[in-house]
A and B are shown apart, each in its own frame.
Chain A
């Protein structure tokens, strides 16, 4: 019996239906609320410049890093006032979209 022949159950409005479950459904991302203190890369690219150090106080709107991506120097700005807790990347790192760049506190 291959995986395709195995029937599972899907709950739709409290009724259980016997059926095949797709790989796409099995691999779907479970939702996690975003943490505003964890700053993620909004674009895939290379870390071109880091303007801050751990422990530094930053104001909302301050430029934290510059990501070189899509032939542009993209500014990464602070989305809140806070203190830099940690920096997860170094100059020249290639980051994909959604990579953790730094954390504020």
Chain B
């Protein structure tokens, strides 16, 4: 056969494979508001950057008449490409082929690209759209999942791993996304659960829709399984691309530096925070008044809103922000927000991203439900994560820093490198009302007018202790600064922390309280 004929043969083979599960199946996919696997990849990656591998891989299952079935590419597309020039390895399950079900060869394709990503030290993006295990392939299918989970774990903290849920992801399959760094979901399209509505109905007689059980909103607001929520696939891809600009390619690098830019003047740092510590404000405005171009990229925006996390740039360099949010639940620490903070701190530490912590919290949320939900164990994660982190740690105490919350929020005692406090800071063992009630209990009880006496004692306590100067006199705070000096102090701190090197005792790994 002459070469041009052989080339034509290849082209014909490709055309067949590129049709995936066929026109009908593609129509069905589109009717659900979903793109096909290859469309998703090409719209996410830089134009013409996608190189596909293993296009002609097929299953070799024989049981249940599977030998008579051809499944193009075995229901998953793998390859590599670039996003804004950054290399990424990618796989996308093809729902049009046998419902994107995972058989042995399907899983081998995924693990092949995972191995590749780890070896080449580049980020991995997985697009999940699958009905689950390919039942006909039995235990081989389970083996496939296990091999994926193992690689997710081994690659964790070495290369960034991103999961995108663009369809169902049910049963054991959910554990791959759960092991990765960031999970992206899209309203009405993403569905994640261990046991689906049908099983729940048969076993319990409880009726619930897929959306209410494990839809995008549920995982973004209630469970905390998802980190980014979008209304469309397009918006979701924009979020992924933006995230890629903030993170390094692997754990031995730093994120790419960008041209620095000043915060926008509409975020006036002197006017955001009320002096009265019981009044709310949006701490994201404080972040926007500090970061380059006022560009703050929030993570887990809808979950545990009493604590804000996300990326911004300081002098062009990626920086992680952790901030109490007085606007939501007074900015308390609780089970969910502790979990959210701890995971993010560890992410930043693993990928060489300095952490800026903005502190304004009244303490931990009281309540039987919190205690019984294990706020001790979960709260301890924050202490662990901050103590263990060796990236530059910068802290700004805006207002309240009371009790255990003060210690937990990147205090000097957990080895913050720089601790700054605004003149409005109140660093004390507890809030003035609570403290006065305990310290001056006798005076208040025996006073002719207990209420007046209480008021007087609260004022006395406030005057003496509700300020940053007691902590500053011990060196727990490095500098009391004006709000308008914040960016200047932080930029300088990040600059001088560039070559921070902290020796840690040798160990296999620590035992964080998870």
Q: Point out the residues of chain B lying under 8 angstroms from A16, CB to CB.
A: 278
Given contacts A19-B326, A22-B305, A22-B306, contact A12 B332 (CB under 8 A): yes
A69-B203 in contact given A12-B362, A19-B280 (Cβ < 8 Å): yes
Q: How far is the CA of A20 from the CA of B205 in the complex (A)?
A: 36
Q: Give the chain A neighbours of B330 by CB distance below 8 A.
A: 10, 12, 17, 19
Nearest-neighbor residue (CB-CB) of A93 within chain B: B205
Return the chain B residue nearest A16 by Cβ.
B278
Stretch with Cβ within 8 A of A (4 or more), from B24-32, B177-185, B309-317, B364-372: B364-372
Residue B248 lies at the interface, judged by CB distance under 8 Å to chain A: no
Q: Is B20 an interface residue (CB 8 A)?
A: no
CA distance A21 to B402 in the complex (A): 20
Q: How many residues of B contact A (CB 8 A)?
A: 34
Interface string of A10-37 (1 = CB under 8 A from B): 1011111111111011001111000000
Interface residues in B426-447 (C-beta closer than 8 Å to A) = 430-434, 437
Q: Is the CB of B206 within 8 A of A96?
A: yes
Bound-state Cα–Cα, A16 to B326, Å: 12
Residues 44-85 of chain A, each 1 if its beta carbon lies under 8 Å from chain B, else 0: 111000000000000000000000010000000000000000
- When distances are taken between beta carbons in the complex, the residues of chain B under 8 Å from A21 are 329
Question: Which of the residues B206, B278, B280, B306 comes within 8 Å of A15, measured between beta carbons?
Answer: B278
The answer on a CB contact under 8 Å between A10 and B329 is: yes
Is B327 positioned at the interface, with any CB of A under 8 Å from its CB?
yes
Does B204 have its Cβ within 8 Å of any Cβ on chain A? yes
Q: Check A19–B329 contact: CB distance below 8 A.
A: yes
Partner of B278, one of A18, A45, A69: A18
Counting chain B CB atoms within 10 Å of each CB, which of A20, A29, A94, A96 scores highest? A20
* Min C-beta distance of B454 to chain A, whole Å: 10
Contact A7 B280 (CB under 8 A): yes
Cβ-defined partner of B329 (8 Å) among A13, A22, A46, A96: A22
- The A-contacting residues of B in range 336-386, CB under 8 angstroms, are 336, 362-363, 365-369, 372
The size class of the interface chain A forms with chain B is 20 to 34
Q: Which residue of A lies closest to B336 (CB)?
A: A24
If A13-B431, A17-B362 touch, does A45 touch B279 (CB 8 Å cutoff)? no
The answer on a CB contact under 8 Å between B328 and A20 is yes
C-alpha gap A14/B430 in the complex (Å): 10
Check B369 against A15 for contact (C-beta < 8 Å).
no
CA distance A22 to B330 in the complex (A): 10
* Chain A nearest Cβ from B408, distance in angstroms: 15
Is A44 in contact with B305, judged by CB distance below 8 angstroms? no
- A28 near B329 (CB under 8 angstroms)? no
Residues of B within 8 A of A69 (CB): 203
Within the complex, the shortest CB–CB distance from B175 to chain A, in Å, comes to 19
Task: Name the residue among A24, A45, A46, A69 with the largest chain B CB count within 10 angstroms.
Answer: A24
Report the bound CA distance from A30 to B369 in whole Å. Answer: 8
Using CB atoms, name the residue of chain B closest to A22.
B329
Which among A7, A22, A29 has the greatest number of chain B C-beta atoms within 10 A?
A22
Residues of A within 8 A of B306 (CB): 22
Residues of chain B from 379 to 432 with CB closer than 8 A to chain A in the complex: 402, 430-432
Residues of B contacting A25 with CB < 8 Å?
A: 329, 365
Contact residue among B336, B365, B437 (Cβ-Cβ distance under 8 Å from A12): B365
CB distance from B204 to the nearest CB of A (A): 5
CA distance A17 to B360 in the complex (A): 12
Among B278, B365, B372, B402, residue most surrounded by chain A Cβ atoms (within 10 Å)? B278
* Nearest-Cβ distance from residue B424 to partner chain A, whole angstroms: 15
Q: Which residues of A contact B203 (CB under 8 A)?
A: 44-46, 69, 94
Given contacts A19-B329, A19-B330, contact A13 B362 (CB under 8 A): yes
Interface residue ranges, A against B (CB under 8 Å): 7, 10, 12-22, 24-25, 28-31, 44-46, 69, 94-96
Q: Which 8 A-B pairs have the closest CB atoms?
A: A13-B434, A17-B330, A31-B368, A12-B362, A94-B205, A15-B431, A19-B330, A14-B433
